[in-house]
Amino acid sequence: MKDFEIVQVSKDPRVFEIKNFLSDFECDAIITKAIPNMCPSRVVEEDPLNGVIHAQRTSTGTFLLMSDTIVTKIEDRIENLIKIPRQNGEHFNVLHYDVGQEYKPHYDYFLHEEETQRLQLKNGGQRVCTVIVYLNNVEDGGVTVFPNVNLQIIPQKGNAILFYNIKEDGQIDHNSLHSGAPVLKGSKWIVTKWFRENHYTF
């Protein structure tokens, strides 16, 4: 596998594009593992325990609950990159978008002011950063957008993005607002992993 290459594409929010982060073999293996368990995606802001199916997020998805050698190798690579222990990470969330499916603009951080989101913060604290790996090439659409700073990332198989939901001083970063734009042709597979401030318990 080629070495990966990191390019900072935005300072606020802090967004890094990582080229060649996963091999084609690893991308295909993650999709194969996820396929039998795909269900409609949920959002957790309103119901932190079970999540709810919501028009904001129309993809299907699943969490990879079991580690194997491929998942462990990817976790090693991410841990090495972001210098946050893997115990702070939530499970890998594999997502699939068909034509027209999307994840409308949202934040990955949780707000202390919202009672339902406060519950999320009790386990592991704030979501400090998010890693998204693109598992296939999308024929058209499906870009990841940061609308506040007019930034778009085109999904490319094996590439990843790392972005921070909080600023360097620990305050939440409103510019981390992001979306998965509708897929226009083909389909889109990604795997997302959120990292907390402290250990996260499953």
Ligand X SMILES: O=C(O)CCC(=O)C(=O)O
Tell me which residues touch ligand X (CB under 6 A).
Answer: 103, 108, 132, 144, 178, 180, 190, 192
Q: What are phi and psi for residue 79, nearest 5 degrees?
A: -60, -40
- Rounded Cα–Cα distance for residues 165 and 174 (Å): 8
Distance in angstroms (rounded) separating the CA atoms of residues 141 and 184: 5
| Shortest separation between residue 70's beta carbon and ligand X, angstroms | 20
- Which of 121, 131 has the CB closer to ligand X? 131
Asked if the peptide bond before residue 105 counts as cis, ω within 30 degrees of 0, the response is: no
Residues 6+ apart with CB under 8 A from 85: 79, 199
Instruction: State which residue, 89 or 180, has the beta carbon closest to ligand X.
Output: 180
Shortest Å distance, C-beta 180 to ligand X: 2
CB of residue 179 vs ligand X: minimum separation in angstroms? Answer: 7
Nearer to ligand X, 126 or 144 (CB): 144
- How far apart CA 133 and CA 18 sit, in angstroms, is 9
Which of 1, 154 has the CB closer to ligand X? 154
Nearest residue to ligand X, using CB? 180
Smallest separation (angstroms) from ligand X to the CB of 47: 17
Q: What is the Cα–Cα distance from 131 to 196, expressed in whole angstroms?
A: 12
